[in-house]
């Protein structure tokens, strides 16, 4: 198996209290060692978890990654990709930061537009698209909650959105989320009643609130993986 010089996000797996115990079970007979997954803006490791558990090499890029923080802006050319063993990427997951886009924060849009935060976030989303275009993976996907990402980055419009709710895939809460990209949208639905409602929006203030709100739901991650091996 190819070794990535970027770290894998094993700190998540070490923290059994938060994310459970990591177990590795190869699920495919075919060789997937050359199917490198680039998971951008991934601190929890949850979206890429099914790939990791199936033995795919996964490179997690996040500035908050405890063991090896990495800035997506650093992915700026062939030399960087080559140095990190990422010239040949099979799939790209990108949970683009939504702070300046999510409709739930609309009351702060004017201030963010005025202080330059919005422009910086748009630039980062565009940079993400540039990485995708450069690497031309077999599939790619960008995730964001309902909001103004597609209107501020109109290049995305031809690629989505395709909306889902966590409860469509077994997690009993709602958080309407859009996907844009080139990927198999035929995800196997396992709907459950949203008995926990919109728990993400009702989360009490805490240091971890933003992190907890943004963790990719496990049922969706599993269904995405199964449709996009």
For ligand SAM, the binding residues (CB under 6 A) are 41-44, 46-47, 61-64, 71-73, 95, 97-98, 124, 214-216
Nearer to ligand SAM, 57 or 145 (CB): 145
DSSP structure class, residue 31: -
CA atoms within a 13 Å half-sphere pointing along the CA-CB vector of 137: 27
DSSP 3-state of 14: helix
Q: How far apart are CA 95 and CA 41, in angstroms?
A: 5
Task: Find the angle CA(40)-CA(95)-CA(28) to the nearest 5 degrees.
Answer: 65
Nearer to ligand SAM, 32 or 121 (CB): 121
Cβ 107 to ligand SAM shortest distance, Å? 19
Nearer to ligand SAM, 31 or 181 (CB): 181
Nearer to ligand SAM, 8 or 44 (CB): 44
In 3D, which of 44, 60, 49, 55 has the Cα closest to residue 6? 60
Cβ 182 to ligand SAM shortest distance, Å? 20
Q: What number of other Cβ atoms are within 10 A of residue 39's Cβ?
A: 26
């Amino acid at each position: 198996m190819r070794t990535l010089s970027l770290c894998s996000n094993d700190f998540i797996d070490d923290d059994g209290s938060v994310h459970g115990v990591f177990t590795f079970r190869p699920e495919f007979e075919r060789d997937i060692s050359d199917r490198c997954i680039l998971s951008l803006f991934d601190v929890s490791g949850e979206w890429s978890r099914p790939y990791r558990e199936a033995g795919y090499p996964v490179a997690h890029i996040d500035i908050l990654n405890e063991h090896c923080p990495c800035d997506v802006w650093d992915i700026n050319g062939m030399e960087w990709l080559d140095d990190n063993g990422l010239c040949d990427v099979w799939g790209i997951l990108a949970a683009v930061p939504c702070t300046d886009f999510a409709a739930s924060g609309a009351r702060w849009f004017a201030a963010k537009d005025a202080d330059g935060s919005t422009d910086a976030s748009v630039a980062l989303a565009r940079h993400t698209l540039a990485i995708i275009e450069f690497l031309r993976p077999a599939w790619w996907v960008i995730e964001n909650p309902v909001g103004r990402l597609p209107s501020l980055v109109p290049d995305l419009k031809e690629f989505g959105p395709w909306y889902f709710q966590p409860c469509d895939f077994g997690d009993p809460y709602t958080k309407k989320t859009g996907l844009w990209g080139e990927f198999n949208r035929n995800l196997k639905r396992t709907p459950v009643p949203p008995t926990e409602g919109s728990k993400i929006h009702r989360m009490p203030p805490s240091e971890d609130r933003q992190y907890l709100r943004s963790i990719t739901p496990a049922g969706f991650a599993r269904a995405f993986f199964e449709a996009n091996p």
